[in-house]
Structure 1
Amino acid sequence: MKIKVIIACCLALLLYNKAVATTLKIAYDTDPVSLDPHEQLSESTLQFSHLVFDPLLRWNKNGQFEARLATKWERLDSHTMRFFLRKNVVFSTGNTFSSKDVAYTIERLKKSPDFRAMFDTIDKVTMVDEYTIDVHTTYTNPLLLNIMTYVFPIDKAFYQGKDQIIKYGETFASRNVSGTGPYILDNRELGSWMELTRNPNYWDKNSKGNADKIILTPIRTDSTRLAALLSGDVDFIFPVSPIDIERAKKVSGIQLVTLPSTRILLLHMNQNRRKEFQDVRVRKAINLAINQALIVDKILKGYATPAGQLSSDRFLGHINGLEPEYDVEKALELMKEAGYEKGFRISMMAPNNRYMSDEKVAQAISAMLSRIGITVELKTLPKAQYFKEYDNRSADMMMLGWQSDTMDSNNLFEFIIACPDTNTGMGAYNASEYCRPEIDADIRQANREMNPERRLRLLQQIEWKIYNDSAVVPLYWQSLTWAAKDGVNIKDIVNDQNYPHIGDLFIEE
């Protein structure tokens, strides 16, 4: 009799566990173009990395570093930092995580076209023992810990010999995954869906996360994405369009979370493609013709902050009082002075599913530039197609959004302002082809300056030079808005970098 009772209890427990198994359905605006965490430095790539890989350390909601695969760290000297690694961690292949995987990952990041500029400062990594590494830099670096948030160790035994990095290419790493993260990728159809299951061997036993299965569906159209949430087809969406926010607020059973972010939206003016853009008066006229405040008010419904510089007020390089200017009359005078009173025609490309209301913003900018005689031939593309064109510099003017994941101005400067250099990775996203060697010298110095006051002056000096040169057109820092069903506690796991820690998401039954 006792045996029957025990068996009945076990069966009941199994049935209960099955009953409470939780599936989380998420709709994003886009999915990663590749499974390779080092192929493209993009938001969707890093979001994916937080699901299936684990960083050495990450930012918490208070802006402090949180230990993950590195349990602690200490500086040994001005050029060396030691990291102590977590033990008893395994990759999804079953291979054991150790220092060899971290050293291998950092060496691979140094070869990545997109990540190279950040990791160029690292001279070498030495393995002290199986769970301790020393990271040696070529010079003093005040941002070494910030950079380490980009290190999501990959499985050396799984990838080695098949680890070629080709942007938008068909490689082993772009199709196969072995990580230590909270989820394991089960199935994927690019552009349609992605299915992940909870990693049964995940090391973080203290996590409150209880989503056993995740189905990620890219839904490009804002209204369709919201409709999927309201109909119950999905549980969690990002982003929520500004025009849909008020509508969503009125629906019972739906919660919204909005955070300001440091992501800057900007326009590049390609000086190699157009001689007109080589004239600072033309670049200044374009800046003056674009009404950032109107875009934020009318299109983004106030869910952004107009920008007159690249550095947000959270960054060391921010200059108080440097606000966007809007003056069409002055812009027309500058166009006349430059010899372009009759204007000219340009091509422009922008994504239509990457940033908040990006297509509408691009259309508004086209109309604004027409007031100073610049006729814009606008083409918008889905993210996956757009960034191929962006890498090829396929239009005279191109839109870009940039989140400095090091939470520092110099990350912006070295990727989107520095002279393009394929050897170092500097200027990898500089679609303006703008180049001032003296700014590059300041960027390099800021990357090694340990004195906060001197570093502040250096970064602000760079910001002033960019402003005076009208090197790019800063548009706005966009806010981030997520929506979910009640009971899906997204407030605890979203952040201003938009890398939700879904592994820690608790869903109420």
Structure 2
Amino acid sequence: MARLLSYLLILASLTLLPAAFANANQNGQASDMVKIAVDDLPVFFSPYATDPLELQYANLFFDPLFRWTDKRQIEKRLVAKWRTIKPGVTRFYLRKNIKFHSGNQLSSKDVIWTFSQIVKEPQLKRFFAGINSIKRVDKYSFDLHSALSNTQLLDYLTHFFVLDAAFYTQNKIDPNTAQEIISPQHNKLLISGTGPYQIKQYNPALHLDVVANKDYWQGQAATNELNFIKIKSANSRQFALLANDIDISASISNKTIDTVHFAKSKSLVEVTSSNVVFFTINDKRSDVFKRSVARNAIHLAINQEGMVKHIINNMGSVRATFTPVQQVELELPNPQLPTYDVPRAKYLLDKIEMPAYLTLLVLVDEVGNTPEVAKALVNMMKRVGIKLVVTEVTDVGVWNKQLFDYDFTLSVWQTSLMDSNNIYQDLFVDSELASYIGALFEQEKSLNSIEDKVNLFGEMQEQHRIIPLFFQNKIWATDNKYNLATIFSINGIPYWHLLTTN
């Protein structure tokens, strides 16, 4: 009864949600418009801005050189073919007769100009630092100079979205400028890519309405209009779907996913991704954790399988160690999984002089699972006689400053990269754990290659310094009339131009 009452309260709260979808038909929008609830909207409309476009939006307005399919295959997009000229030099040939939204024709000059914009932004280093230069060969071909392997390079090029050089330079438009409100009467083109959709209406606090590009090089998208509606609350997104105010919901709450099953016209879509909840143990604050027996005891006290079952409703998996792009589903319980043994943990801790209390720093994730995991950890530690004090932060800058002031940390990491070397590079250099991992690497003076670092990272997990608590999948909810389950790439990116009705 209590759960039913909470559902009714959330449904009642939907009357307070933005009116972006409530008055859709009154505003004269197309009847075939699909309404998609998202937790946030872009502020900048460039893949290379200070706060770059999320990949699902970047693929709306721009095409990458390559992209990943749902079969873990590289698909040529703006590139027609490529070949190795000599070691370190690859020649790419663009598709011909592709036009930008402005009407300008795509050429190799656009690729080179786009790269010049990329190298201006330090935060893009992880994707493009391995590219030394790009040189024009002719109108439709260019040579890319890089020491990266072929698979590494193509993986990074899935993030290379080509901009319309003439449009931005002639109109003196800075792609790094935050976009203001766009009304349906606004006839000035603000961005120009080769992608399947263009902006119709935009309010950063409410919604992003896009319409199909009629001149798209692959043919006009089957769904003419998409309206991305900003609803911060995961519960509110889900119940807006159940109330038929929206058609599709992103990142729904794990707590209430069972409510979708009550509606025969709705269903869940579970999308696999490299999304890991990491728990770390720091020996800088408490010397006791320099002892492996103390770290082992803490690990024994953590019920990882229980977290997957009760916090994310089995929408994920547990593995003993982190392995990139491993798509193996493990049934729970599984004897190969990390051991949960409270009596053994208490036995070991009784032999150790532990501090009066221990501290946990939590980086709150957008879905909200890390606070739930933190609560579970507090209860688990209590069972073995440990008082755990939790501090939650939402700012990564604050997180990095305080990282080593706590005994434990809890954070979520994910990547859209698929090559294993690229994934480790992202984890070791650009993730929220990079400072912690880097400090452990500094203790080893003989790390000369990525392979050496990967091996040491594995040892860190075996030593219970870094514990991948569980791997969580993204959960979407949809009206059954849409083919939502078939539009995602292997790395979890929705390609919205593939959306159709069943």
Common topology (TM > 0.5): yes
Corresponding residue for residue 259 of structure 2: 247
Residue identity in the other structure for 2:500:
F
Task: Tell me the number of residue pairs that the alignment of Structure 1 and Structure 2 aligns.
Answer: 454
Corresponding residue for residue 10 of structure 1: none
- Provide Cα deviations, 1:4-53, integer angstroms capped at 9, x if missing partner: xxxxxxxxxxxxxx9976211001233346433234798x7111111121
Question: Could you say what secondary structure the match of 1:364 adopts?
Answer: helix
464, 472, 475: which one aligns with 2:469:
475
- Asked if the contact 1:125/1:136 (under 8 Å) is kept, the reply is yes
Question: Could you say what secondary structure the match of 2:436 adopts?
Answer: coil
Corresponding residue for residue 22 of structure 2: none
Corresponding residue for residue 82 of structure 1: 91
Corresponding residue for residue 13 of structure 2: none
Gaps in structure 1 of 5+ consecutive residues: 1-17, 165-170, 419-425, 447-457
1:91-106 matches, within 5 Å, as 91-106=100-115
Question: Could you say what secondary structure the match of 1:96 adopts?
Answer: coil
Are 2:177 and 1:172 equivalent residues in the alignment?
A: yes
Instruction: Label 1:443 to 1:213 Cα distance change in 2 as closer, same or farther (>3 A).
Output: farther
Instruction: Label 1:410 to 1:254 Cα distance change in 2 as closer, same or farther (>3 A).
Output: same
Corresponding residue for residue 182 of structure 1: 196
Q: TM-score, normalised by structure 1?
A: 0.76
16, 33, 51: which one aligns with 2:60:
51
Gaps in structure 2 of 5+ consecutive residues: 1-27, 181-189, 329-333
Instruction: Label 1:121 to 1:321 Cα distance change in 2 as closer, same or farther (>3 A).
Output: farther
Note the C-alpha offset of 1:399. 4.2
Note the C-alpha offset of 1:507. 2.9
Residue identity in the other structure for 2:390:
E
Corresponding residue for residue 224 of structure 1: 236
Note the C-alpha offset of 1:158. 4.6
Instruction: Label 1:471 to 1:178 Cα distance change in 2 as closer, same or farther (>3 A).
Output: farther
Instruction: Label 1:109 to 1:173 Cα distance change in 2 as closer, same or farther (>3 A).
Output: farther
20, 23, 29: which one aligns with 2:39:
29
Question: Could you say what secondary structure the match of 1:263 adopts?
Answer: strand
Corresponding residue for residue 500 of structure 1: 494
CA–CA separation in structure 2 for the residues paired with 1:110 and 1:270: 36
Instruction: Label 1:64 to 1:433 Cα distance change in 2 as closer, same or farther (>3 A).
Output: closer
CA–CA separation in structure 1 for the residues paired with 2:462 and 2:57: 38
Question: Could you say what secondary structure the match of 1:123 adopts?
Answer: strand
Residue identity in the other structure for 2:245:
D
CA–CA separation in structure 1 for the residues paired with 2:298 and 2:49: 33
Note the C-alpha offset of 1:298. 1.3
- Asked if the contact 1:346/1:376 (under 8 Å) is kept, the reply is yes
Corresponding residue for residue 491 of structure 1: 485
Residue identity in the other structure for 2:461:
Y
Question: Could you say what secondary structure the match of 1:104 adopts?
Answer: helix
Q: TM-score, normalised by structure 2?
A: 0.77
Corresponding residue for residue 314 of structure 2: 302
Corresponding residue for residue 167 of structure 1: none
- Provide Cα deviations, 1:219-245, integer angstroms capped at 9, x if missing partner: 233322121111111111122333433
Identical positions, percent: 26
Measured on the aligned residues, the alpha-carbon RMSD in Å equals 3.7
1:122-201 matches, within 5 Å, as 122-138=131-147, 140=149, 142-159=151-168, 171-172=176-177, 177-201=191-215
Instruction: Label 1:313 to 1:137 Cα distance change in 2 as closer, same or farther (>3 A).
Output: closer
Instruction: Label 1:193 to 1:80 Cα distance change in 2 as closer, same or farther (>3 A).
Output: same
Corresponding residue for residue 116 of structure 1: 125
196, 215, 221: which one aligns with 2:227:
215
- Asked if the contact 1:296/1:476 (under 8 Å) is kept, the reply is yes
- Provide Cα deviations, 1:38-70, integer angstroms capped at 9, x if missing partner: 34798x711111112111111111111111111
Moved more, 324-333 or 467-476: 324-333
CA–CA separation in structure 2 for the residues paired with 1:172 and 1:440: 43
Are 2:48 and 1:38 equivalent residues in the alignment?
A: yes
Instruction: Label 1:391 to 1:437 Cα distance change in 2 as closer, same or farther (>3 A).
Output: closer
Residue identity in the other structure for 2:62:
F
Note the C-alpha offset of 1:501. 0.8
- Asked if the contact 1:299/1:361 (under 8 Å) is kept, the reply is yes
CA–CA separation in structure 1 for the residues paired with 2:148 and 2:237: 47
Question: Could you say what secondary structure the match of 2:63 adopts?
Answer: coil
CA–CA separation in structure 2 for the residues paired with 1:270 and 1:91: 51
Question: Could you say what secondary structure the match of 2:274 adopts?
Answer: coil
Instruction: Label 1:110 to 1:203 Cα distance change in 2 as closer, same or farther (>3 A).
Output: same
Instruction: Label 1:310 to 1:221 Cα distance change in 2 as closer, same or farther (>3 A).
Output: same
Note the C-alpha offset of 1:493. 0.9
Corresponding residue for residue 9 of structure 1: none
Note the C-alpha offset of 1:187. 3.5
Corresponding residue for residue 421 of structure 1: none
Question: Could you say what secondary structure the match of 2:317 adopts?
Answer: strand
Question: Could you say what secondary structure the match of 1:135 adopts?
Answer: strand
- Asked if the contact 1:36/1:174 (under 8 Å) is kept, the reply is no
Instruction: Label 1:271 to 1:459 Cα distance change in 2 as closer, same or farther (>3 A).
Output: closer
Question: Could you say what secondary structure the match of 2:99 adopts?
Answer: coil
CA–CA separation in structure 2 for the residues paired with 1:444 and 1:41: 31
Question: Could you say what secondary structure the match of 2:35 adopts?
Answer: strand
- Asked if the contact 2:418/2:491 (under 8 Å) is kept, the reply is no
